[in-house]
Amino acid sequence: MPVLLSRGVKALPFARKAKLQPFTNTELIYNPSFKDTLATLRSYLNIDKLIHSQVPSIPVQTIRRDSIESDKDDCVFRLGHSAVLMKIDGKVLLTDPVFSDRASPLSWAGPKRFHPLPISLEDLPHIDVCLISHDHYDHLDKQTIKQLHERVDQFLVPKRVGHNLLGWGVARNKIQEFDWWQSKRVGTLTFVFTPTQHFSGRSYKERDWSLWGSWVIQGSESNIYFSGDSGYFSGFRDIGERYGPFDLTLMETGAYDERWASIHMFPEQSVQAHIDVKGNVMLPIHNSTFDLSFHAWNEPLKRLVREASERNVNVVCPKIGEKVLISELSVTENQQAWWD
């Protein structure tokens, strides 16, 4: 069973963490050297200056709060990067919310947002469930959680991520921690925390002290897979066998590089992962908002669409803020290629 944090749980100091075993992947031990970590950190903090002298013009559609509240059909909205707002079975869900200008521990350095938010924090409707995939800064944002948590009923998070939320003011009874394959029922929805091939840590000393993963979201009419971050691995086939087929996959497609190929997929691998989990339509996330690698911002979508076309995979690439009705999923051929 998933763990509801008790009153005795506080932010874990390093002394207590030293007594705990770090988490590991099922197929790979990702253990970069300290030198490799510093090189990645330098590129991470300066990549937006190195690649683009001008911020790309990315189209954004404004999301109206009353429109979300009145929606009766299952739908999803891309907010940017891996933040996705959903209305499933009448419940409002939010994944990996990052509303800050930078995906960074620093307010003055690090990858800066390319585009404005399609909806502000203040305009968000009440959130029934907020799902977190792992603790990296581009998925778990301190300022966003501090401003948002009073309007969220439940946070479903990986094991040992709860101490971060507690430190930011989230009530204990709102936080539930999950190990891989654990599930929870919320009304007519079922949430299952599933494996990925990645790592965790908000500092070098915290490497792998908390878990990472993906989420299965099963509703009355819709079955959705949210990938979080992952390298390509056989676990996708396991997820597909257990919980597929999926009407829609929200699949990581972006921020890849040969130096971290084992823990971030290339677009062609993202298509294969979608096939492995038995997805019907794929919606690529983790792109077009922050520069986290050396490729051009729109390269992931170009490569994805080309690979999907060659393999007869249905892809939907909505603009930031554009509504996608799960019952009326369109495919690439019917869309404007706004990323060109």
> How is 161-172 classified by DSSP, letter by letter?
-HHHHHHTT--G
- Among left, alpha and beta (phi > 0; psi -120 to 50; other), residue 6 is beta
At residue 56, the pLDDT reads 83
Mean pLDDT of 64-68: 93
Q: How far is CA 153 from CA 72, 87, 129, 148, 314, in A?
A: 20, 15, 6, 11, 34
Contact 274, 265 (CB under 8 A): no
Return the CA Rg of the chain.
Answer: 19
Phi then psi for residue 37, to 5 deg, are -65, -40
pLDDT greater than 90 at residue 1: no
- This prediction has a pTM of 0.92
Neighbours of 251 (CB within 10 A): 29
Six-digit token string for 40: 């990645």
**Angle, in degrees to the nearest 10, between helices 299-310 and 267-276:** 50
| Token pair of 99 as six digits | 């509303």
Residue partners of 153: CB distance under 8 A and separation at least 6: 126, 127, 128, 129, 174
Q: How many CB atoms lie within 10 A of CB 33?
A: 8
Query: Above 70 in pLDDT, residue 80?
Result: yes
Looking at residue 14, its pLDDT comes to: 39
Instruction: List all residues 6 or more positions away from 57 whose beta carbon is below 8 Å from its beta carbon.
Output: none
Distance separating alpha carbons of residues 214 and 192, to the nearest angstrom: 8
Please state, rounded to an integer, the average pLDDT across all residues of the chain. Answer: 89
Cα–Cα distance for residue pair 255/243, rounded to 1 Å? 27
Highest-scoring range by mean pLDDT, 16-30, 127-141, 293-307: 127-141
State how far the Cα of 324 lies from the Cα of 233, in Å rounded to an integer.
28
Note the pLDDT of residue 334: 54
Give how far Cα 181 sits from Cα of 102, 154, 293, Å: 32, 19, 31
Which range is least confidently modeled, 23-32, 80-89, 152-161? 23-32
Query: According to the model, what pLDDT value does residue 95 have?
Result: 98
Of 23, 35, 30, nearest in space to 179 by CA? 23
Domains of the chain: 3-334 (3.60.15.10)
Residues 4-35: pLDDT tens digits?
764 444 444 433 555 788 999 999 877 666 66
* Sole residue written with tokens 């300290």: 34
**Residue 281 — very low, low, confident or very high, per pLDDT cuts 50/70/90?**
very high
183 pLDDT higher than 60: yes
Angle, to 10 degrees, between the axis of helix 267-276 and the axis of helix 235-243?
Answer: 40
Q: Given a cut of 90, is residue 47 above it in pLDDT? A: no
Report pLDDT for 5: 65
pLDDT of residue 42: 60
pLDDT level of residue 291 (50, 70, 90 thresholds): confident
Task: Write down the pLDDT at residue 7.
Answer: 47
Query: What pLDDT band is residue 36 in, cutting at 50, 70 and 90?
Result: low
Question: Which pLDDT value is given to residue 48?
Answer: 47
Tell how strand 314-315 and strand 189-194 pair up.
unpaired
Mean pLDDT for the stretch of residues 144-166: 97
More confident residue, 60 or 203: 60
The pLDDT of residue 46 is 54
pLDDT grade, residue 292 (50/70/90)?
A: confident
DSSP-based helix, strand, coil % in the chain, nearest 5: 25, 25, 50
What percent of the chain is modeled with pLDDT above 70? 86
Q: How far is CA 74 from CA 84, 191, 220, in A?
A: 13, 16, 10
User: Above 50 in pLDDT, residue 315?
Assistant: yes
Q: What is the pLDDT of residues 189-233, one digit of tens each?
A: 999 999 999 999 998 778 899 999 999 999 999 999 999 999 999
> pLDDT band at residue 336, thresholds of 50, 70 and 90?
confident
